[in-house]
Amino acid sequence: MNDNELSHFGIAKSYTNNDNKINSLDFYHDGKHLVTAGDDDAITIYDSENGKRKQTLYSKKYGVQRIRYTHNTSCVLYASTKVDDALRYQSLHDNKYIRYFQGHTDKVTSLCMSPIDDTFFSSSKDKTVRLWDLRSPHTQGLLRMQKNNSRQHKPHSAPVVAIDPEAVIFAVAYNDYQEKKGMIKLYDKNSFDGGPFSTFKITMEDHYDWKEIKFSPDGKHILCTTNGHCVYLVDAYEGHVTKVFRQIVNARNDDLQAGFTPDVQWAWACGSDGTVSWYKVGSNPTEVSSSPSFKWRPHDIVQSSSQESICGPIYAAQFNPLYCMFASAGTSLNLWIPDTERIEK
């Protein structure tokens, strides 16, 4: 995917009939299936290859957020927003729960599925990180990130967790308020009881919390998003900040959405103004840019009577892992592909 092609993406399909915001979305690893979760408790499945909405289910009793595909296109995993803080494993085929995963006592902050097996990780505002297996309702491993449970003593923010592309290590990140640094701890997935094998201490430029971390598809970078106006790119081996991506509009201090293209040549970040900022990564550290090389602006491409639904904040986004497609969602879902007419011009 060359620079000219990426800079001339356009919205090929827009689904604007959502009443509430879409809080999360996920592509299946074959790139042909897309699932979204909304604040209206809706789970919607799309055929991303043909741009068609296939099915909508509801989780009215428990709510739905942080939805993820498992290794089956007919099964998803997500966190509850009502009743309790359990994780739910659901069959989309017959709209039935397969299993509950109970243990967290506060809102789930991140959820990530292993790329190679049935294990997955979750983190929560209860300051724990848990390892699970889809085949068992019981926690397979537990990290307590805060020993002092006093409500008045708040040594660090809620943790977030991510697993590397080879499913060998996982990373836990949080803000240490006492040291005034961002912390990233790396653990061996098979022997994390002994503690982290590496700890990175990141000096942050602002006081905002880290809200999500992601490994790049090649495992060389870690992307740390905030609820502020910048995103941190960290070397996954050495632990130093390679670049800070700036100029991201975040008027209401929402949790920023960011990620990589599958070839790891570019990183993207979404703003509250509905734009998507693109930053050059490249194979050479000197190629990494801190200011966006270009921005996608939906209102420049799509004219609609419902302008706010298209140009409002982006709450969920992801680049298709296999096809040249990008999905972004606010109160509408937009599917972006290269605009061939503009590229030719």
The predicted-structure confidence for 35-57, as pLDDT tens digits, reads as follows 999 999 999 999 998 989 999 99
For 209-258, write each residue's pLDDT tens digit.
899 999 999 999 999 999 999 999 999 999 999 999 988 988 888 899 99
H or E element that contains 149: none
Question: Contact 156/147 with Cβ under 8 angstroms?
Answer: no
Q: Is residue 283 part of a domain?
A: yes
Question: Does the pLDDT value for residue 205 go beyond 50?
Answer: yes
Q: Which residues contact 63 (CB under 8 A, 6 or more apart)?
A: 41, 80, 81, 82, 83
Kindly indicate the confidence band of residue 5, based on its pLDDT and cuts at 50, 70 and 90: confident
- Same domain? For 200 and 263 the reply is no
Are the C-beta atoms of 296 and 266 separated by less than 8 Å? Answer: no
Asked if 325 contacts 336 with a C-beta cutoff of 8 angstroms, the reply is yes
Does a structural domain hold residue 151?
A: yes
Helix, strand and coil content of the chain, in percent to the nearest 5, comes to 5, 45, 45
- Prediction pTM value: 0.90
- Shared domain for 148 and 241, answered yes or no, is yes
Q: Residue 184's domain spans which residues?
A: 129-247
300 pLDDT higher than 70: no
Environment class of 252 (CB within 10 Å of its CB; exposed 0-12, middle 13-18, buried 19+): exposed
Which one of 205, 231, 247 terminates a domain? 247
Q: With bands split at pLDDT 50, 70 and 90, how would you rate the model's confidence at 191?
A: confident
By CB atoms closer than 10 A (0-12, 13-18, 19+), residue 163 is buried
Task: Say whether both 215 and 165 belong to one domain.
Answer: yes
Same domain, 140 and 221: yes
Q: For residues 245 and 282, what is the distance between their CA atoms, to the nearest angstrom?
A: 14
On whether both 270 and 226 belong to a single domain, the answer is: no
Domain count, the chain: 2
Share of the chain above pLDDT 70, in %: 89
Q: CB neighbours of 162 closer than 8 A, spacing ≥ 6?
A: 110, 112, 121, 170, 171, 173, 212, 213, 214, 215, 222
Residues 272 and 176 both lie in one domain? no
Residue 147: helix, strand or coil by DSSP?
Answer: coil
Burial 97-122 (b: 16+ CB within 10 A, else e): eebebebbeeebbbbbbbeeeebbbb
End of a domain among 247, 262, 279?
247
Residues 139 and 242 in one domain: yes
For residue 163, what is the domain's CATH number? Answer: 2.130.10.10
- CA quadruple 159, 164, 170, 173: dihedral, nearest 10: -30
Residue 307, φ and ψ in degrees, nearest 5:
-60, -35
Q: Which residue, chain included where needed, has tokens 């003593």?
A: 153
The whole-angstrom separation of Cα 310 and Cα 297 is: 10
* Secondary structure element (H or E) that encloses residue 307, with its range: helix 307-311
